[in-house]
Amino acid sequence: MKITFIRHSKTAVKPEVPITLWGLSDAGIEKAHELGKQEAIQGLNVIYSSLQTKAIETMLYLAKPNIIPMRTHKDLTEITSFTNKFITGDEYLQQIEQYYARTLERIAGGETVEEALARFEAALEAIVNSEPEATNIGIVTHGYILSFFTGKYSNLVPFDLHHSIQQPDVAEFDWESKTFTRLWSES
C-alpha cells in the first residue's frame, strides 16, 4: 500500500485567530487547485486530513474535482508544540532550533517529538487498517510532523526538511517496507 503524504497548501497567517483555525491564503487555494491536477493526487483511493482548517481546505480542493472520498482523523494534527501558542521572531527561531536539536523537549507545553510521532504513527496504522481495499491513501497534514516522520524513515535531517517542504508538497511512502519512494519537492 502507498501512502501519499501531502503538506497542506499555503496558509493565511492571522495571529488573532488560533493557529488550528487558520485557513488557506488566496495563493494557497490556487496552489491546491494546481496540485489537484497532478497524477499523484488523481490516483488516490481516499484522502484523509487533520482537523485543522488549512488541512481540511487543502483536502477539499484536492478531492472534490477528482471525486476522491474524504475523511478526517484527529491524530493527523501538527505537533501541539507548534499549535499551542503563536510565536514569532528570535524567540521562535531559537525554540525551533532547540526543539529540532532535541535540547528543548517541549514548546508552549506541547508534545515531545516522541509523543507526536507515536500519535501520528498510531493514526496512520488505524487509517491503513480501516481502508483494506485502498492501494493509495492520501494524508493531508503539517510540516513539523512530516519533517520528523520523514527524518525517521530516510537519511534526511528533520531540521533541513522543515525549511524545504513546500506548501503544498507531496511525498510517497511504501507502507509495507516503511520507505519513501518519492521525497518532497521531487517532480
pLDDT of residue 91: 84
Residues 7-48: pLDDT tens digits?
A: 999 999 998 989 999 999 999 999 999 999 999 999 999 999
Q: Is the pLDDT of residue 60 over 70?
A: yes
Residues 93-149: pLDDT tens digits?
A: 899 999 999 999 998 899 999 999 999 999 999 999 999 999 999 999 999 999 999
pLDDT of residue 43: 96
Name all domains of the chain by residue range, CATH numbers in brackets: 2-80+111-182 (3.40.50.1240)
Q: Which three cell numbers stand for residue 49?
A: 486530513
pLDDT of residue 70: 98
pLDDT of residue 101: 94
User: Cα separation of 87 and 84, whole Å?
Assistant: 9
Residues 72-106: pLDDT tens digits?
A: 999 999 999 888 878 788 888 899 999 999 999 99
Alpha helices in the chain (DSSP H): 26-35, 39-42, 53-66, 89-101, 113-130, 143-152, 158-164
Q: For residues 158-170, give the mean pLDDT.
A: 94
pLDDT of residue 187: 55
pTM: 0.95
Give whole-number Cα distances, 134 to 9, 17, 68, 82, 108, in Å. Answer: 24, 36, 12, 31, 38
Residues 176-187: pLDDT tens digits?
A: 999 999 999 875
Q: Which three cell numbers stand for residue 88?
A: 514569532
pLDDT of residue 92: 84
Sheet bearing 169-174, strands edge to edge: 70-72, 46-49, 136-141, 2-7, 169-174, 179-182
Sole residue written with cell 499551542: 84
